[in-house]
Chain A
Amino acid sequence: MTATTTIDKAGPRRSVKQHSMSRDRSWALRWSYFFLTLFAIFFLFPPLYMLITSLKTSKEISAATNPWWVYHPTLSNYIELLSSNQFLTFFWNSAWVSIFVVIITMLIAIPAAFALARMRFWGSATLATGVFLTYLIPDTLLFIPLFKMFAVFNDLTGIQVINHWWVLVIIYPTLTVPFATWIMIGYFASIPKELDEAAIVDGASWMQTLLRIFIPVALPGIIAATIFAFTVSWAQFLYPLAFTTSTSQLVLPVGIITTLIKGDVFNWGQIMTGALLGAAPPLLIYAFLMDYYISGLTAGATKG
């Protein structure tokens, strides 16, 4: 008798629980959508404002009509910028800097991460933490000593590295290598140890294990690190501002600001157009490599 009553009680209770769970879920989803929408609006505001402004003439901008509407849309800002040699110089300087920085970063970070993740040697754990700690030092603290270093280097050797676009190729890896190495240490560490042991027993050297097993297996992590290095060097503002001054050596973010603002005259239409065009390359790269990027950042979370 007692047994039957227990079952009777258990029945409805279970169905109530299921009900409340699905209700829980739908409420959680509603809140998620609410906050995600808020988030999206907040972050898409500036680009939208840039786009609207870039389609206006200077006259319309200074007329201060409705800032969220274009009454006389024009592509003149785009045409002017894209046909100006200066803008194209900035663009190519940015492109070359970013490409070289990505290459240098990967050439250093991949072997470094492999060594720190896999070759057990004295102090490897401390070194790995050290790599991460260097990333925690703010860029703004580093540019003065770096500037001083180059000045001393100039005094000693007579070679002037400041005010060449390629000086940025030397500087940026100090920012990108630690973080890229850190990402890849995590990624390499998530590769089962038996995989390199199998390769070693199969007759592979450390280098062959890295090139033929680790790099292909860790490709999502490598792509994530690549995107990171590219974004950092493309969007960097403070360093190029400090280290380059001649117009021919400027990169995009600094170039736009220094050439399109003349005294207190702000050419807003072109500034916004330049910013929008400047944001395009990282955007395109993200769009193409997004899937890889996400799986790279969440590697090891689940057993793949």
Chain B
Amino acid sequence: MAEVELRNVVKMYDNVEAVRGIDLDIADHEFVVLVGPSGCGKSTTLRMIAGLEDITGGEITIAGDIVNDVPPKDRDIAMVFQNYALYPHMTVAENMSFGLRLKRFPKAEIKERVDEAARILDITELLDRKPKALSGGQRQRVAMGRAIVRHPKVFLFDEPLSNLDAKLRVQMRIEIKKVHQKVRTTTVYVTHDQVEAMTLADRVVVMNKGRIEQVGSPNELYHKPATKFVAGFIGSPAMNFIPCRFEEASGKLQVRLTDQIALPLPPEKAARYKSVGRDDKLLIGLRPEHITDAKSNSGPGFETFEAHLDVTEPMGMETLIYFSLNGTQVCGRANPSAGARDGAPLRLAVDLNNMHLLNEASGAVI
């Protein structure tokens, strides 16, 4: 068990900067998820922690020791790969014990550890099988077992669930969380799936273009995104960004969305945004759950307007509604009983207590 620290870590491939100076502290026992679109540098960062990629600049420490020049086998880490990377010619038990056998552990201890890991992962009856006789989910369990038996300082997961189908992915996600609750090893987990990141992590690290956009708990990222990228990346369906500007009407601040629609800000927001320039190009950020039908939602800070719906998607527990404001497509979530229909008008309520305001040019959250 150990903490991991990254200090201004840089990775260059020839002349391309894949990782542009990352600082990150990962506490002991913590489950940290690196998330971002493909090519954001998350896997490269993980592979640098593993020692599978050289570090171009900066410093990585594991348990207080600088490991920049330490080979992977001496870093005391275990890694789970996207395509499982099981040794095809070995049985499950042999796969799991390979690392221990290389280190010449006593046979009794190897057996004990393999049995323990197999119990945790519920794969005891598979121990004598070869990988080709296993399903995808079972293979991924074995890959995790191979990591667990080593009792490493750090677990590294590189998109371990990407090769599984949607249903199995949800199941294995819960499985991984359970395992971490039992084993408590410091874990760094890479994924491009924000749902996976939100559900698994103690802290999520959102990366974009080789930099960290924001680090925080899942709730922090969801409710207090620092940048437009984070606001748009976390949450599904994604946050709506609607061009707007501020104006004053009878001494009160209001946000104008279209020529017809202007919504007065609630007092708390008006106080917060009072210094925002009236001519600034702004974006209002509204999550779909804060754009609902007026029938089932009202209260202070809720403002209503009528919209002509383009498309509706009934999901059962809710109906996703899509409409346009000045050419921007907006998504909202309505109660199924609100009577939202394709091509029909609907009275909508916007919860401005949960609005975000962004600078259109810089993408910064104001």
Contact = CB atoms under 8 A, between A and B. Distances in A.
A binds B: yes
Interface of A: 192, 194-195, 197-205, 208, 212-213, 216-217
Given A195-B87, A213-B87, A202 B81 contact: no
Given A197-B52, A199-B98, A204 B83 contact: no
A192 B85 contact: yes
A194 B89 contact: no
B300 to A, nearest CB: 54
A203 B85 contact: no
Given A194-B81, A208-B102, A201 B73 contact: yes
Interface string B81-96: 1110111110000000
Given A201-B78, A202-B102, A203-B103, A217 B146 contact: no
Given A217-B87, A217-B89, A198 B79 contact: yes
Nearest to B47: A197
B102 A197 contact: no
Nearest to A194: B85
Nearest to B103: A203
Given A203-B99, A203-B102, A198 B85 contact: yes
Interface of B: 50-52, 71-73, 77-79, 81-83, 85-89, 98-99, 102-103, 146, 150
A212 to B, nearest CB: 8
B109 to A, nearest CB: 15
Nearest to B79: A201
Contacts, number: 56
Nearest to B98: A202
Given A192-B83, A197-B52, A197-B79, A202 B89 contact: no
Nearest to B77: A201
**Is the contact region of chain B dominated by helix, strand, or loop, or is it mixed?**
loop
Contacts of B82: 194
A195 B73 contact: no
A203 B73 contact: yes
Contacts of B81: 194, 197-198
A189 to B, nearest CB: 16
A289 B103 CA distance: 35
A205 B103 CA distance: 11
B102 A195 contact: no
B87 to A, nearest CB: 6
Given A194-B81, A208-B102, A200 B52 contact: yes
Given A195-B85, A200-B52, A202-B102, 14 more contacts: A194-B81, A194-B82, A198-B79, A198-B81, A200-B72, A200-B73, A201-B73, A202-B146, A203-B73, A203-B103, A204-B98, A204-B102, A216-B89, A217-B89
Nearest to B78: A201
Nearest to B76: A203
A203 B102 CA distance: 7
A206 to B, nearest CB: 10
B77 to A, nearest CB: 7
Query: What 5 A-B pairs come out closest when comparing CB atoms?
Result: A194-B85, A202-B99, A203-B73, A198-B85, A216-B89
Contacts of A208: 102
B347 to A, nearest CB: 38
A200 B81 CA distance: 13
Contact of A197 (B85, B86, B87): B85
Contact of A204 (B50, B52, B73, B146): B73
Contacts of B87: 195, 198-199, 213, 217
Contact of B72 (A194, A195, A201): A201
Could you say which of A195, A197, A201 has the most chain B C-beta atoms within 10 Å of its C-beta? A201
Nearest to A204: B102
16 contacts: A192-B83, A192-B85, A195-B85, A197-B72, A197-B81, A198-B81, A198-B85, A200-B71, A201-B52, A201-B72, A201-B77, A201-B79, A202-B73, A202-B102, A208-B102, A217-B88
Contacts of B79: 197-198, 201
Contacts of B83: 192, 194
